[in-house]
C-alpha cells in the first residue's frame, strides 16, 4: 500500500517534518518503510498503530536517534543526522519509557533535564511552572522511586517541555496510565498546540486519534495513511455512515430502493429492522433521505449519522491492509 | 560565551546528578567507608607474625634414648613446637597427620651416633599434610631452624664441657711458668744443678699440661683460628711441641760456655707459656653460645619509618579501594544510562559526549574524595599509620589513581552490554590488581616479563608511590606522574571515543 500524505498537510507552508519514503529496516527485517508525510506547524500528528507497527522507529528517525536506511527526512528544515545544538534546543523528546533517575527527587530530576538545555531553564520559576503544568507541585521533594507510574509520566512530560521546545515528540505518553490522566495529558497537548507548538504523538489507544489534527495509521512497519480523524472514518468505511431503524423489516427490494435514493455506496441490514448506509456526506444525505422515506410511506423510528469508534475504524483499516497483502500474496 | 556557559552547566548537572545519586544511598556510602575500615581493622588485629605452634609427633623406637633427649630439647622451642609425644611406627604418625591431630611428624634417624661416627649426617625426616606452598615453606624453614638450634645446643654443651676441662689446664700453667722462670734464672746464674732440676721440673709439668689439653686443645685451637691472626705455627699443640724441643735444647752439660742460646730458649718458653695462658683465659671468658654463633645479624630500613604489618598494607588497601570504587562507578555509569533510556534523550538534546563524561568524572571524583578522606582519617587517626611525606603528595597520587580508575571504568562501560558484565570485569581487574600490583606479593618475586603486566596497571604505580610518600617521606616521582597522568588522559580519550561510538551506533 502506498503511503499517503494528507492533501491539507501538503498544501500548508513549510512543514516542520517532511518525510519522503524514509525507511529504517533493521537486520531482523523489522522497522518502518515508506514513511511519507508532512507535519505542519501548530498541529498534533498522531502516529497510531498496534505494537510493533513502527511508531517508535518513526519517532526515532525524526529525532535523529536512528538514521534512515533509505529515503529523505527533514525536521525543522535539516536532516536529523545534522542537528546542531540550536536545532536540538527547539526539540523536545519524551521516550516510551520514563527516563528518570529513581534516587533523585522530582525537583532534582527536572533540574537535571533543564540543565541539558542551558542555565536559563534552571530558574526556580521555570521549574515550578513546569511542575505546575503537570500538576506535580507539592511533590517536588519526593524521590522518583517513591512516586506512582502516572506521576513519573507527568514528570517525564515536564522534563520534555522544560525548555519550551517548539517541536515535541512524545512516544506513547499515555501508555499504562488511567483514563482520567490520559484525558489530562491530551488537554495539555491541546494547550501546547494552542501555544503554537507542533506535537508528534504515538499511541496505542486508537481512540486518542480523535484529539489529533492528523492521524498517521501504521501497521506492520508501513504507513497506511495520514488523515484527519473524520477522514479516517470515511477512509475506513468509504464515506459517512447513516443508521436507519425502520418500523418494518425491509426486504431486499426496499433495501436497494433506499440505497439508490440515498446515493449510498453501500446499504446493508443491521439487526431485524435496521439498515446501515455508507454515504458521501451524512449531513447532506440524511435530510434528503428522511424526506424520501416520508414521501414513500416508509416508517422509521430512527435516522442518524453513526460515528464508529476509532477502534473499529482502526481494525477496519488494518484488516483491509492485511487482506490486501494476503490477496497480493495469494 | 553562552555556549561555554551552557557546557559548564551541563557538566555540573551531570556531576551533581551522580553525586546526589550516591549520597541518596547511605548504605552504599557506609559500605564503601566502613567495609574497608573493618577489613583493615580485622587484618591488623588478627594477623600474627608467627604461626601457631606445630603439633609435632616424634617417630622413634620406644627404647631410643635419643628420643627422650629430643623431647627434652624440643621443650626449648615451645613457641614453635607443641609436642604431642612419640610413636613407634611411621604409619601411626601418618594417620595422625591425615586426621589433622598432628601437623608435623619428625622421624628420628635410627642409630644417629653410629651414623655421625661414620662421617655422615643423621637426618631427621619431617612429614606433614600441608597443601599450601607457603605453609610447606614455613614447615621446611622451621624444621631447618630447629635442627640448627639442636646442633648449636650440642656444640654449646661441648664447648661448655671444654671450658670446664680447661680450668685444670689453667691451674697447671702458672706452675709451669714458675718453672720456666726458675730455669731461666738458673741458666743466667750458671747454676748447673739448678738448671738440671728446673729443666726436669718444667718437662714434667709440660707433660701434665699436654695430657690435660685433649679436647680442650681442639676447641682452643678452633677459637684461636677464628679470632686470631696468628700463624698456624703458634697453635697450642705447636707451642707444646716447640716447648719440648726448647727444653731438649737446653743442655745442662754446657754450663760454663756462653749460655746466650739457652737463656734465649728459656725466655721463649716463658713467652710461649704466657701466650698459652692468655689463649686459655680467652677461651674461658667467651660464653659458649657466642663461641658457637659468634656472628649475629640485624637489619634496618634506610630512610623509612618503622612499620607494622597493618601500616605496610594500608597504602595498598586504600589504593585498591579507590581503584575498585572508581572502576565500579565508571563501569556502571554508562551502562545504567543506557538501561534507563536516558542515553536516547541525551542524543536528542544539545549535550555532547565529552560533557557527559566530564560531568560524571566530576561527580564521582567528589564521591571518591569523600570516601578517601574518611578512610584516610580513620587510617591515620585510628590505626596510627604513618604519613612521613607531604599531604599534598599523598592527595595527588590518590587523585591521579582515581582519575585513571574512573577511566578504566568508563572504557569497560563503553564495551559491555550489561551491568553484570561491567561488575564481572571490575572484579577481574580487582583480582589482577591484588596479585600483580605489589599489594601483597613483592614485584621482585615475579618474572621480568610479568612485571610489565604489573607496571601496566595504574594501581602498581600508585601503591609504589604511596609507600614512598607515606613511609620514606619522598615526593611523588616523575615516573608516577607520567604513568598515572598519561593513563588517566589516555583512558579518558578512549572512554570518550567509545561513548561517542555508542551514542551513534545505538
3-state helix/strand/coil string of B447-462:
CHHHHHHHHCCHHHHH
CA-based end-to-end distance of chain B: 32
B333 contacts on A by Cβ (under 8 Å): none
Tally Cβ neighbours within 10 Å of residue B177: 20
Question: What burial letters (b/e) apply to B317-355, b meaning 16+ CB within 10 Å?
Answer: bbbbbbbbbbbbbbbbbbbbbbebebbbbbbbbbbbbeb
Q: How many CB atoms lie within 10 A of CB B295?
A: 5
Mutate to test the interface with A, among B329, B350, B506 (most CBs of A within 10 A): B350
State in words which class domain A17-234 has: alpha beta
Query: In angstroms, rounded to a whole number, what is the distance separating the alpha carbons of residues B176 and B184?
Result: 12
pLDDT at A4: 41
In the predicted model, is pLDDT for residue A231 greater than 80?
yes
Q: Which residue has the higher pLDDT, B431 or A8?
A: B431
The confidence score (pLDDT) of residue A326 equals: 60
- Residue A90: the pLDDT is 94
**Least CB-CB distance to A117: which of B16, B341, B349?**
B349
Assess whether pLDDT exceeds 70 at residue A308: yes
Question: Can you tell me the mean pLDDT for A20-34?
Answer: 90
- Phi and psi (nearest 5°) for B244? -60, -45
pLDDT at residue B235, as a whole number: 56
- Nearest of B63, B135, B57 to residue B90 by alpha carbon: B57
Cell of B503: 551514542
Q: Decide: helix, strand or coil at residue A42.
A: coil
CB within 8 Å: B13 and A99: no
Count of CA atoms in the C-beta half-sphere (13 A) of A115: 21
Q: Is the pLDDT of residue A204 over 60?
A: yes
Closest CA to B195 of B268, B259, B272: B259
Domain ranges (residues) in chain A: 17-234, 239-330
Does position A57 have pLDDT exceeding 90, yes or no? yes
**SS3 per residue for A244-285:** EEECCCCCHHHHHHHHHHCCCCEEEEECCCEEEEEECCHHHH
Q: Which residues of A touch B25 (CB under 8 A)?
A: 103
Q: Cβ of B349 under 8 Å from any chain A Cβ? A: yes
- The closest of B501, B326, B500 to B408, measured between CA atoms, is B326
| Residue with more model confidence, A187 or B173 | A187
Distance CA A29, CA A6 (A): 27
- Residue B464: predicted pLDDT: 94
CA B172 – CA B151 distance, rounded (Å): 32
The 10 Å CB-count burial string (b at 16+, else e) for B446-465 is beeeebeebbebbbbbbbbb
The pLDDT of residue A62:
95
Question: DSSP class of residue B380?
Answer: I
CA A65 to chain centre: 21
The pLDDT > 90 percentage for chain A reads 58
DSSP assignment, residue B286? S
Dihedral of the alpha carbons of A186, A191, A192, A195, in degrees to the nearest 10: 160
pLDDT of A243 reads 92
Which residues share a beta bridge with A227?
A: A215
Using alpha carbons, select from A215, A169, A214 the residue that is nearest to residue A58. A169
The Cα B165–Cα B212 span in angstroms is 8
With cell 604489618, the residue in question is B309
**Nearest Cβ partner for B348 among A63, A111, A115:** A63
Neighbours of B482 (CB within 10 A): 11
**B16 to chain A: which residues are within 8 Å by CB?**
112
pLDDT > 70 in chain A, percent: 94
- The whole-number pLDDT of residue B240 equals 64
Question: Cβ-count burial of B246 within 10 angstroms (0-12 exposed, 13-18 middle, 19+ buried)?
Answer: buried
Least Cα distance to B305 among B469, B467, B471, B473 occurs for B471
Given this model, what pLDDT does residue A9 score?
A: 52
pLDDT of residue A1: 29
Instruction: Determine the pLDDT at residue B232.
Output: 47
Contact A122 B10 (CB under 8 A): no
A71 DSSP assignment? E
Report the pLDDT value the prediction gives residue B254, as an integer from 0 to 100.
Answer: 59
Is there a contact between A85 and B21 if contact means CB atoms under 8 Å apart?
no
Q: Indicate the helix (H) or strand (E) that contains B201.
A: helix B192-227
Residue B154 host element (H or E): helix B133-189
- B346 in contact with A at a CB cutoff of 8 Å? yes
User: How many interface pairs between A and B have CB atoms less than 8 angstroms apart?
Assistant: 76
The distance of B385 to chain A (nearest Cα, Å) reads 36
Q: Do B20 and A89 count as a contact with CB atoms less than 8 A apart?
A: no
User: Which pLDDT band, with edges at 50, 70 and 90, does A239 fall under?
Assistant: confident
CB pair distance less than 8 Å for B9 and A93: no
Strands B81-87 and B54-59: parallel
Q: In B, which residues are within 8 Å of A65 by CB distance?
A: 344, 347-348, 506
pLDDT in tens, chain B (506 residues): 678 888 999 999 999 999 998 888 888 777 777 777 787 678 777 877 677 788 888 888 777 766 776 777 677 667 777 888 888 888 999 999 999 899 889 888 887 778 887 888 888 889 998 888 878 888 888 788 778 877 887 788 888 888 887 888 788 888 888 888 888 888 888 787 888 888 888 888 888 887 776 656 666 666 555 555 554 455 555 666 667 777 777 666 655 566 677 788 788 888 888 888 888 888 888 888 888 888 888 877 776 777 788 788 889 989 998 999 999 999 988 888 888 888 889 999 999 999 999 999 999 999 999 989 988 998 899 888 999 999 999 999 999 999 999 999 999 999 998 889 998 998 899 889 988 999 878 888 889 899 999 999 999 999 999 999 999 999 999 999 999 999 999 999 999 999 999 887 66
Q: Specify the CATH class of A239-330 in words.
A: alpha beta
Interface test with A, best of B20, B29, B349 (most A CBs within 10 A): B349
User: In this complex, is the C-beta atom of B21 within 8 Å of any C-beta atom belonging to chain A?
Assistant: yes
Backbone angles phi, psi at A131, to 5 degrees: -70, -35
Amino acid at each position: 500500500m502506498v503511503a499517503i500524505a494528507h492533501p491539507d498537510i501538503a498544501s500548508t507552508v513549510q512543514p516542520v517534518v517532511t518525510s519522503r519514503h524514509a525507511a529504517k529496516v533493521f537486520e531482523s527485517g523489522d522497522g518502518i518503510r515508506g514513511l511519507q508525510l508532512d507535519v505542519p506547524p501548530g498541529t498534533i500528528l498522531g502516529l497510531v498503530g498496534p505494537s510493533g507497527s513502527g511508531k517508535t522507529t518513526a519517532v526515532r528517525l525524526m529525532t535523529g536517534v536512528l538514521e534512515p536506511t533509505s529515503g529523505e527526512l527533514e525536521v525543522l528544515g535539516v536532516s536529523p543526522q545534522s542537528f546542531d545544538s540550536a536545532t536540538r534546543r527547539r526539540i523536545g523528546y519524551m521516550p516510551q519509557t520514563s527516563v528518570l533517575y529513581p534516587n533523585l527527587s522530582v525537583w532534582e530530576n527536572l533540574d537535571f533535564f533543564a540543565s541539558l538545555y542551558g542555565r536559563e531553564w534552571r530558574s526556580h520559576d521555570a521549574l515550578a511552572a513546569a511542575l505546575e503544568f503537570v500538576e506535580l507541585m507539592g511533590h517536588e521533594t519526593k524521590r522518583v522511586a517513591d512516586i506512582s507510574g502516572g506521576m513519573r509520566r507527568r514528570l517525564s512530560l515536564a522534563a520534555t517541555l522544560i525548555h519550551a521546545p517548539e517541536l515535541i515528540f512524545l512516544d506513547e505518553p499515555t501508555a499504562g496510565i488511567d483514563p482520567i490522566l490520559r484525558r489530562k495529558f491530551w488537554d495539555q497537548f491541546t494547550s501546547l498546540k494552542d501555544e503554537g507548538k507542533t506535537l508528534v504523538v504515538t499511541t496505542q489507544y486508537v481512540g486518542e486519534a480523535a484529539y489529533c489534527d492528523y492521524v498517521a495509521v501504521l501497521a506492520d512497519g508501513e504507513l497506511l495513511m495520514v488523515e484527519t480523524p473524520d477522514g479516517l472514518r470515511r477512509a475506513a468505511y468509504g464515506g459517512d455512515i447513516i443508521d436507519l431503524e425502520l418500523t418494518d423489516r425491509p426486504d431486499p427490494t426496499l433495501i436497494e430502493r433506499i440505497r439508490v435514493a440515498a446515493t449510498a455506496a453501500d446499504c446493508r441490514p443491521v439487526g431485524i429492522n435496521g439498515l446501515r448506509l455508507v454515504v458521501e456526506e451524512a449531513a447532506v444525505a440524511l435530510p434528503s433521505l428522511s424526506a424520501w422515506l416520508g414521501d414513500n410511506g416508509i416508517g422509521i423510528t430512527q435516522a442518524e449519522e453513526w460515528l464508529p469508534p476509532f477502534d473499529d475504524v482502526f481494525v477496519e483499516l488494518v484488516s483491509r491492509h492485511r487482506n490486501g497483502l494476503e490477496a497480493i500474496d495469494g | 560565551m553562552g555556549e561555554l556557559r551552557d557546557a559548564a552547566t551541563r557538566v555540573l548537572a551531570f556531576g551533581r546528578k551522580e553525586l546526589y545519586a550516591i549520597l541518596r544511598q547511605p548504605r552504599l556510602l557506609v559500605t564503601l567507608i566502613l567495609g574497608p575500615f573493618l577489613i583493615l581493622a580485622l587484618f591488623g588485629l588478627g594477623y600474627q607474625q608467627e604461626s601457631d605452634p606445630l603439633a609435632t609427633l616424634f617417630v622413634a623406637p620406644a627404647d631410643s634414648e635419643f628420643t627422650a633427649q629430643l623431647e627434652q630439647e624440643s621443650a626449648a622451642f615451645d613457641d614453635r613446637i607443641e609436642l604431642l609425644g612419640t610413636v613407634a611406627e611411621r604409619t601411626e604418625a601418618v594417620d595422625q597427620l591425615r586426621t589433622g591431630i598432628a601437623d608435623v611428624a619428625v622421624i628420628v634417624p635410627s642409630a644417629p651416633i653410629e651414623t655421625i661416627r661414620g662421617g655422615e649426617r643423621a637426618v631427621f625426616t619431617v612429614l606433614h599434610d600441608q597443601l599450601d606452598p607457603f605453609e610447606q615453606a614455613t614447615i621446611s624453614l622451621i624444621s631447618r631452624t630447629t635442627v640448627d638450634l639442636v646442633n648449636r645446643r650440642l656444640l654449646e654443651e661441648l664447648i661448655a664441657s671444654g671450658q670446664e676441662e680447661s680450668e685444670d689446664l689453667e691451674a697447671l700453667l702458672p706452675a709451669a711458668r714458675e718453672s720456666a722462670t726458675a730455669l731461666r734464672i738458673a741458666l743466667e746464674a750458671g747454676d748447673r744443678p739448678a738448671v738440671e732440676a728446673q729443666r726436669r721440673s718444667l718437662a714434667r709439668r709440660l707433660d701434665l699440661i699436654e695430657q690435660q689439653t685433649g679436647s680442650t686443645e681442639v676447641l682452643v685451637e678452633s677459637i684461636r683460628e677464628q679470632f686470631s691472626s696468628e700463624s698456624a705455627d703458634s697453635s697450642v699443640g705447636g707451642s707444646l711441641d716447640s716447648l719440648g724441643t726448647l727444653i731438649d735444647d737446653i743442655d745442662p752439660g754446657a754450663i760454663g760456655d756462653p749460655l746466650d742460646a739457652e737463656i734465649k730458649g728459656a725466655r721463649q718458653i716463658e713467652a710461649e707459656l704466657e701466650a698459652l695462658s692468655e689463649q686459655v683465659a680467652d677461651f674461658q671468658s667467651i660464653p659458649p653460645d657466642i663461641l658457637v654463633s659468634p656472628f649475629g645479624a640485624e637489619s634496618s630500613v634506610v630512610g623509612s619509618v618503622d612499620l607494622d604489618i597493618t601500616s605496610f598494607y594500608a597504602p595498598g588497601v586504600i589504593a585498591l579501594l579507590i581503584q575498585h570504587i572508581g572502576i565500579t562507578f565508571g563501569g556502571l555509569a554508562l551502562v545504567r544510562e543506557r538501561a534507563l533510556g536516558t542515553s536516547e534523550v541525551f542524543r536528542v538534546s544539545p549535550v555532547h559526549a565529552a560533557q557527559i563524561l566530564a560531568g560524571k568524572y566530576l561527580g564521582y571524583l567528589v564521591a571518591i574524595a569523600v570516601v578517601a578522606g574518611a578512610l584516610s582519617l580513620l587510617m591515620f587517626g585510628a590505626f596510627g599509620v604513618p604519613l612521613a611525606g607531604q599531604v599534598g603528595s599523598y592527595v595527588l597520587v590518590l587523585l591521579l589513581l582515581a582519575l585513571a580508575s574512573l577511566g578504566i571504568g568508563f572504557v569497560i562501560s563503553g564495551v559491555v552490554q550489561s551491568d553484570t558484565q561491567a561488575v564481572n570485569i571490575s572484579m577481574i581487574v580487582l583480582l589482577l590488581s591484588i596479585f600483580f600490583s605489589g599489594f601483597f606479593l613483592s614485584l621482585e618475586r615475579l618474572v621480568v616479563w610479568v612485571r610489565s603486566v604489573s607496571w601496566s596497571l595504574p594501581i602498581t604505580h600508585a601503591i609504589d608511590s604511596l609507600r614512598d610518600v607515606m613511609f620514606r617521606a619522598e615526593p611523588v616521582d616523575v615516573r608516577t606522574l607520567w604513568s598515572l597522568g598519561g593513563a588517566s588522559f589516555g583512558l579518558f580519550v578512549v572512554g570518550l571515543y567509545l561513548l561517542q561510538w555508542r551514542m551513534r551506533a545505538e
